[in-house]
Chain A
Amino acid sequence: MKVTVDEVKCCGAGQCVLIAPEVFDQRDDDGIVILLESEPGEDQYSLVREAAAVCPALAIEIAE
C-alpha cells in the first residue's frame, strides 16, 4: 500500500489522526496533515482505508 496526502485540499478535520495515529499526524501550527508512513504495515491497512474513505476533503489517496 502506498499512501499520499494533498496538503492543499486538507481541511484539518483530524479524522485520519483519530483513526490511524500511527500513519497520520497534523502540523501543530495549522492542523494540516502530516504523513508519518507512506508505506504502512499491513496491520494498518484497514484503518488507512477507513481514514481515506471518511476524509471530508478527500485529501488522502491510496494505491494498492
Chain B
Amino acid sequence: MSQHEQVLNYPIPNDAALEPPAEWAELRSKCPVAHVTLPSGDQATLLTRYDDVKEVLADPRFTRQLSAPDAARLSAEGGGVFSSDLAQIIPDGGEEHQHWRRLVSRWFTAKRMNALRPSMAKTAEELIDDMVKRGVPGDLKADLGFPLPVYVICDMLGVPAADRDRFSYWSDTMLNLTRYTQAEIEASQLEFFQYMSGHVAAKRAAPDDDLLSGLIAAGTPEEGGLSDLQIQVTGIALLVAGHETTANMIGKMVAMLLADRSRWERLLADPSLIRTTVEESLRLDANSGFGLPRYLREETEVSGTHLPKGTTVVCSMAAANRDESAFEAADQMDMTRSPNPHLSFGAGAHSCLGQALARTELQVVLEVLLRKLPTLDLAVPVAELERVEGLAVGGLRTLPVRW
C-alpha cells in the first residue's frame, strides 16, 4: 500500500462548498496512507481512514512539534498556528500537559456551558433581530455565526468584545496558511502577544471572575498554577480557537440544513432532534479545513505502512468521518444518528478542550433560529456558496439568507 507513484497536492482542491472531494473515498479504499505535497512543497503523509486517524490522534508518539527542524512546513510562510513558537509554550504531552489541561478544563465543563445557555440565547436573539432589521438578504455568517462565538469567548476570558476586529485580524493571520507574508504574520503575533501581556498584567492588578483571572489565582508554577507566559499564550490560544472554528461551523451547519430544506422542516416539526443534528453536521462538514498535522518522533507503522521517524502526518478528520467502515450510510445525513463518534474535535488527550462550548453554541443557535425565523431559507442556490480559501479552519465566505 505504500507504493504510490502519483503524489497528490494537499489540501485537495474542491469547488463544492458543502460536498467532499471525490479523492477522499478513493484514498480511504486504495491509499489510506498517502504521500502528499503541501503548499510549501514539502512532503507529508495523509491519513483518511477512521481507525487510523483516531489511533494517531490519540498516540503520544505523534506530537504537535511542527517546529522541529525536519518537520514539513505547511506553507511557504511557515505553518501558521500549527508551528508557531507560541504553540510550544503550552506543554505538548505527559503530566505537564495534563496539568495545564485540567487547569483550563474547569472553565469549559458541560455544567458551566449549560449555565451560559440563557445569555447565549439572548445574544443570538439580539443578533437575529438586528439582521432582520437590516432586511433581506442577510448574511448569516457575518450577522450571527461570526459575532456570537466571539462575544461568548471574550466574555469568558474577560477581554473587551469591542476589540473584536483586532482579534479577528490576529486570529486570521494565525489560521490562514496562505494569505499573509511571514513579516505580516510575525508582526501580528507580536501585537497579539503584547495585547495579551498587557491584559494579563491588568487582570493581575485587578482580578475579576473570568478565566484569565482564575488562571492567575491558581498561583505560580511552584504553587500548582501557570507561568505568566503560559497564561498569556493560553489566552491567545483560546481566543483564536474560540473564534473561527464555531463561527464558521454555524454557517456551514445552517447551510447544510437549508441546502435540503426538508431537513429544516423536520427540525421545525421536532426540535428534539437538535442535539443529534448538530453532531451529524459536525460529522458531515466536508469543508473543515486543513485537518490536524502531527510530527512523528519515532518510527512506527500505520495500516501496515512503515512511517520513518520525522514523518509529518496530516490527519483528515473530515475524510475519516465519512468512512463507511465506521458509519453506516456514511455519506448520508441522518439527523437521528446515535451514537455519532465523529472525529471533528479530534480524539484522545488533545481532543478539543472547548467542545462542550462549541456544541452548546451550535445547539443554542439552531434553537433560536428555528424559533425566530422558521421561514429561513438560502437566498442563493447552493452552487453559489463559496469556500474561504487558505484557512486552517474551513468556512463559507458568506451565507446569504432570506426569511
Contact = CB atoms under 8 A, between A and B. Distances in A.
Nearest to B279: A54
Contact of B356 (A18, A27, A49): A18
Given A32-B102, A56-B347, A17 B109 contact: yes
Nearest to A49: B339
Interface of A: 11-15, 17-18, 21, 25-32, 46, 49-50, 53-54, 56-57
Given A15-B355, A56-B351, A57-B349, A26 B111 contact: yes
B105 interface: yes
Interface string B343-356: 00111111111011
Contacts of B58: 57
Contacts of A50: 338-339
A32 B102 CA distance: 8
B111 A25 contact: yes
B108 A53 contact: no
Interface of B: 58, 101-103, 105-106, 108-111, 113, 275, 279, 338-341, 345-353, 355-356, 359-360
B108 to A, nearest CB: 7
A13 B352 contact: yes
Contacts of A25: 111
Contact of A11 (B111, B279, B338, B349): B349
B106 A30 contact: yes
B375 to A, nearest CB: 30
A54 B351 contact: no
Contacts of B348: 11, 56-57
Contacts, number: 79
24 contacts: A11-B349, A12-B108, A13-B351, A13-B355, A13-B356, A14-B108, A17-B356, A18-B110, A18-B356, A18-B359, A18-B360, A21-B110, A26-B109, A28-B109, A29-B106, A30-B102, A30-B105, A30-B106, A32-B102, A49-B339, A50-B338, A54-B341, A56-B345, A57-B348
A15 B345 CA distance: 11
Contact of B110 (A26, A49, A54): A26
Question: Which of B110, B279, B346 has most chain A Cβ within 10 Å?
Answer: B110
Contacts of A11: 101, 105, 348-351
A49 to B, nearest CB: 7
Contacts of A29: 102, 106
B62 to A, nearest CB: 16
Nearest to A9: B349
Contacts of B349: 11, 57
Contacts of A18: 110, 113, 275, 356, 359-360
The 4 closest A-B pairs by CB, nearest first: A31-B105, A53-B339, A17-B110, A14-B110
A15 B276 CA distance: 12
Contacts of A54: 279, 339-341
Contacts of B109: 12, 14, 17, 26, 28, 31
A50 to B, nearest CB: 4
